[in-house]
Amino acid sequence: MGAEMTTDGESAAESEHWAAGVEYDGRRFAGWQRQNDQLTVQGVVEQALSQVAAQPVAIAAAGRTDAGVHACGQVISFSSEARRNADNWIKGCNGILRRAGYGVSLSWIRPVAPAFHARFSATARRYLYVLEPADHPRGLNRGLVTSAGHLDVEAMTRATRYFVGEQDFSALRGSGCQSSTPWRCVHFARLHRAGRYLVFDVQANAFLLHMVRNMVGALLAIGSDRLPAERLPELIAGRDRRCLPATAAPDGLYLADVSYGSGLPERCIPNKPVQPLPPILAALGGLDAFV
């Protein structure tokens, strides 16, 4: 299809369509989603892209993370009539973000089909939650992990299997969730040892508001002997949020990866890079360290 014609007969530029990976330290932000009078990740990324494009750029994201939540594998999509190549976008956007000191950067960018949408084309999201089960947590980890003291890891590991599968997760749904259904399909939920850290690794087709943090809240109660692991299925089936433990802090939660394995070329990202682990776990390599 050719370029559209403007009212004066000149051809209008066609939009180019892009997907990009975004990583960020969430400690300074009031969450992902743009808000009036609040510093948000979406807001600063859109500002940077708009400066590079010399025209407004609006972005869609695979997931809307809460205040204080981090990402090493967030995915965005956007369209722009500005003629910029991948190198222009990466260098220009990251230069602006680095000078502003936001702790945000684009990790990669790829051209995609017009039908691609970071949120609606996604088939799975994967989160990591990093716990530090130690009596004397490291001060430099503040905001990057959740300190938990000593935990019964065996009991927590038994409990993770109760999250897996397609079920009604109303009992793990935060108040204010706007999803039309509480049903989600959890592909896997597991615990990993990583040096001094314990990592909860969970993937689902999508998540409800605070769902991962509420899962961790339940695991922490089980690990500290405040809740028997075997009661978890009953509590989830009861669909009453008030019957489960408090929501875990956002500290230590990372959006780690987003999958686009639908099999439809127009909804995939060509040569999408393998996502790295959060910096605090980077010595282990990439996400394949936890496969």
On the 0-12 / 13-18 / 19+ scale of CB atoms within 10 A, 16 is middle
State residue 13's pLDDT score: 74
Options 3.40.50.300, 3.30.70.580, 3.30.499.10, 3.40.640.10; which CATH number does 16-120 get? 3.30.70.580
- Is the pTM higher than 0.85? The answer reads yes
pLDDT tens-place string over residues 168-222: 999 999 999 999 999 999 999 999 999 999 999 999 999 999 999 999 999 999 9
End-to-end CA distance of the chain: 43
Q: Name the average pLDDT for the chain.
A: 93
Average confidence (pLDDT) over 94-106: 97
Indicate the length of the chain as a whole number: 291
What stretches of the chain adopt beta strand conformation (E)?
A: 16-24, 59-61, 70-80, 104-111, 124-132, 146-147, 165-168, 183-194, 197-204, 253-259
Nearest alpha carbon to residue 74 among 24, 40, 124: 24
Contact criterion met (CB below 8 Å) for 254 and 72: yes
pLDDT for 2 beyond 50: no
Only one residue has tokens 């204080």, namely 68
8 band by pLDDT with thresholds 50, 70 and 90 = low
Average confidence (pLDDT) over 257-264: 88
Highest mean pLDDT range out of 58-62, 147-151, 270-274? 58-62
Strand partners, 128: 201, 254
* Domains in the chain: boundaries: 16-120, 124-255
pLDDT for 11 beyond 70: no
Strands 253-259 and 70-80: parallel
For the CA atoms of 263, 181, 223, 127, the dihedral, rounded to the nearest 10 degrees, stands at 30
Q: Catalytic: which of 25, 66, 201, 251?
A: 66
| 135 classed as catalytic | no
What stretches of 92-196 adopt beta strand conformation (E)?
A: 104-111, 124-132, 146-147, 165-168, 183-194
Helix axis angle for 211-223 and 153-160, nearest 10°, is 140
**Can you tell me the distance from the alpha carbon of 260 to that of 138, in angstroms, rounded to the nearest whole number?**
37
Contact criterion met (CB below 8 Å) for 211 and 169: yes
Average confidence (pLDDT) over 248-254: 96
Helix (H, G, I), strand (E, B) or coil at 290: helix
pLDDT tens-place string over residues 113-171: 999 999 999 999 999 999 999 888 888 899 999 999 899 999 999 999 999 999 999 99
**Can you tell me the distance from the alpha carbon of 221 to that of 163, in angstroms, rounded to the nearest whole number?**
15
Q: What angle do CA 187, 193, 199 make, to 5 degrees?
A: 50
Contact criterion met (CB below 8 Å) for 128 and 289: no
- Kindly give, in sequence order, each residue whose CB lies less than 8 Å from that of residue 193, ignoring residues fewer than 6 positions away: 153, 199
Fold agreement between 16-120 and 124-255: yes
pLDDT for 1 beyond 50: no
- Percent of the chain scored above 70 by pLDDT? 96
CA 11 to chain CA centroid, nearest Å: 39
According to CATH, the topology of domain 124-255 is Alpha-Beta Plaits (3.30.70)
DSSP label of 114: T
**Can you tell me the distance from the alpha carbon of 197 to that of 8, in angstroms, rounded to the nearest whole number?**
63
